[in-house]
Amino acid sequence: MNYPFQDNPLGQSINSDDILSDFEFLDDWEERYAYIIDLGKQLPSFPDAEKIEDNYVHGCQSQVWLIHTVTDGTLYLLIDSDAIIVRGLAAIILAALNAKSPQDLIDTDIDRLFEKLDLFRHISPTRGNGLRAMVEKIRAIAASEVAA
């Protein structure tokens, strides 16, 4: 499994503080949606061979897949979706949670990030459910790594 986990800029060279800072300079939600979509374009390519049931994130309106690896105590994540806005939302999640130790990931208050970005007021309830489903799956992966 030689996937581009460490090549993912999200959570490494682009973090949640960067996204919050960029959001402050955008005047309205039309510009913010465009920014979120652009973030999604920065996701590394996701291997088609991994678009299988075991990697499927249930609870999302769109199709979403998630894979991970742990290298030297750091949890790396890759996410893909068939919807461009969901790819952008996944990028926000990765900026906050990717490339951390499993315990640091669990300790990260991603809900606070979502509040600061005011995401849930500006995405549909089904997109919000999908966002929560992605975070829950990632937290479950981190918890299983901590317990291992």
8 Å CB contact between 5 and 98: no
10 Å CB burial of residue 66 (0-12, 13-18, 19+) is buried
Q: How many CA atoms lie within 13 A of 85 on its CB side?
A: 18
Give ∠ CA 25-28-34 in degrees, rounded to 5: 85
Residue 84, phi-psi category: left (phi > 0), alpha (psi -120 to 50), beta (remainder): alpha
Of the candidates 60, 66, 77, 86, the residue annotated as catalytic is 60
CA atoms within 13 A on the CB side of 24: 7
Is residue 60 part of the annotated active site? The answer reads yes
What are the catalytic residues? 60
